[in-house]
A = this chain, B = another copy of it.
Amino acid sequence: MTASQQQIQLARRPQGIPVHEDFRFETIPVPEPKQGEVLVKTLYVSVDPYMRGRMQDTKSYVEPFALDKALSGGVIAEVVSDGNHLKKGDIVIGNLSWQEFSAVSESALRKIDTSLAPASAYLGILGMTGLTAYFGLLDIGRPKEGETVVVSGAAGAVGSTVGQIAKIKGARVVGIAGSDEKIDYLKQELQFDEAINYKTADDIQKALQNACPDGVDVYFDNVGGPISDAVMNLLNEFARIPVCGAISSYNAESEADDMGPRVQSKLIKTKSLMQGFIVSDYSDRFSEGAKQLAEWLKAGKLHYEETITEGFENIPDAFLGLFKGENKGKQLIKVSDPS
């Protein structure tokens, strides 16, 4: 008898905000590794806002997820069958299906060093989210000492890293987030200079103005929507805007749901630059970024938070929570302990 396991599939393409019915749990056999493959057991699964885009069947920077097929993303796993290079017990990272066990080509896995940082950090600060913050801020934002850097989604995995790197570079950092608990975290633990709760601010425009008396030189945009509209009114000359995420518009069903003041005249008046990017644009420089992030982490200059939800069955819930701002820092799901 073959052992069976659970897999999570895309049951249908979400309309607006994703709901449970967009996901399907399917019972499938635990696969047999073929030549060149190893069997791995899923330990941690990463859920990320960008996945919402892949659920749509539209032109984007990554292939859309296929209907009735497994969803996939960043996963930390334990090797449970010896391969040519990888050995039983090795902890690895890869882009894997949302299922409990996978048979994967060894070349698609990278062994991680859990003596440097806990395994889960490799899905966050030392992984794609840390690198997203690193390259977006330093390559597009290019903050200079004394400049004002505003970051939205500031308590999220990317945003909190952006703010800390900006502080390392000597900038004045203003974060925007959606709860008083997050604001306290940004100001007390991460030493942001100012933090604004956009949900309780009477007037987000005025709150930003007060927090940025010298205007905005860099705006790291994780959210789009009305928050970004307000920041765009405070740009200094030659401001730089890395456009990393637009979580407020990912669930818009049509253009009519995502209307705002046009940016053209603001960009001209201030001679500013806005640039969309995705971390894979920088794949040839990942080792540079990962090395620097690990150094800062070891030196105690970078802190990170994880929200770890327990249980494979809770992956959809954890994903849906991203759109309600429920997570603080990187949202992960712990599927199992290493053997």
Chain A residues with CB under 8 Å of chain B are 53, 58-61, 221, 224-225, 228-229, 237, 243-246, 249-250, 252, 255, 258-278, 281
- 7 A-B residue pairings within 8 Å (CB atoms): A59-B269, A224-B262, A224-B264, A243-B268, A244-B268, A260-B260, A263-B263
Q: Given A61-B271, A271-B61, A281-B271, is A228 in contact with B276 using a C-beta cutoff of 8 Å?
A: no
Q: Across the interface, do A268 and B278 meet the contact criterion of CB distance under 8 Å?
A: yes
Q: How far is the CA of A278 from the CA of B237 in the complex (A)?
A: 11
Selected contact of A262 from candidates B53, B60, B258, B266, CB within 8 Å: B258
Contact among B225, B244, B268, B274 for A246, CB-based, below 8 A: B268
Which residues of B have CB within 8 Å of A224?
A: 262, 264-265
Q: Complex: how many Å from CA A276 to CA B270?
A: 7
Interface centre among A237, A260, A276 (most CB of B within 10 A): A276
Write out the residue numbers on chain B whose beta carbons fall within 8 Å of the beta carbon of A259. Answer: 259-262
Additional A-B contacts beyond A243-B268, A249-B265 (12; CB < 8 A): A60-B269, A225-B262, A246-B265, A263-B263, A263-B274, A268-B277, A270-B276, A271-B281, A272-B275, A272-B276, A273-B273, A274-B275
Q: How far is the CA of A246 from the CA of B268 in the complex (A)?
A: 8
CB within 8 A of A228: which of B237, B260, B264, B271? B264
**Nearest residue in B to A215 (C-beta to C-beta)?**
B59
Min CB distance A258 to B, Å, is: 5
Q: Which of B237, B275, B278 interacts with A273 by CB under 8 Å?
A: B275
* A269 contact set on B, CB distance < 8 A: 53, 58-61, 276
Select from chain B the residue with minimum beta-carbon distance to A260: B262
Which one of B229, B265, B270, B273 contacts A274 once the chains associate, using CB atoms below 8 Å?
B273
Contacts of A53 in B (CB 8 A): 269
Question: 3 tightest A-B contacts by CB?
Answer: A267-B276, A224-B264, A268-B276
| A272 cross-chain contacts in B, Cβ below 8 A | 275-276
State whether A258 touches B265 (Cβ < 8 A): yes
Closest to A244 in B: B268
Q: Answer whether A261 and B255 are a contact pair too, CB < 8 Å, given A270-B276, A272-B276.
A: yes
Q: How far is the CA of A292 from the CA of B82 in the complex (A)?
A: 65
State A281–B275 Cα separation when bound (angstroms): 19
A6 to chain B, nearest CB (A): 32
When the two chains form their complex, are residues B277 and A271 in contact, meaning their CB atoms are under 8 A apart?
A: yes
- Chain B residue nearest in CB terms to A255: B261
Q: Is the CB of A61 within 8 A of B237?
A: yes
Residues of B near A278 (CB, < 8 A) are 268, 271
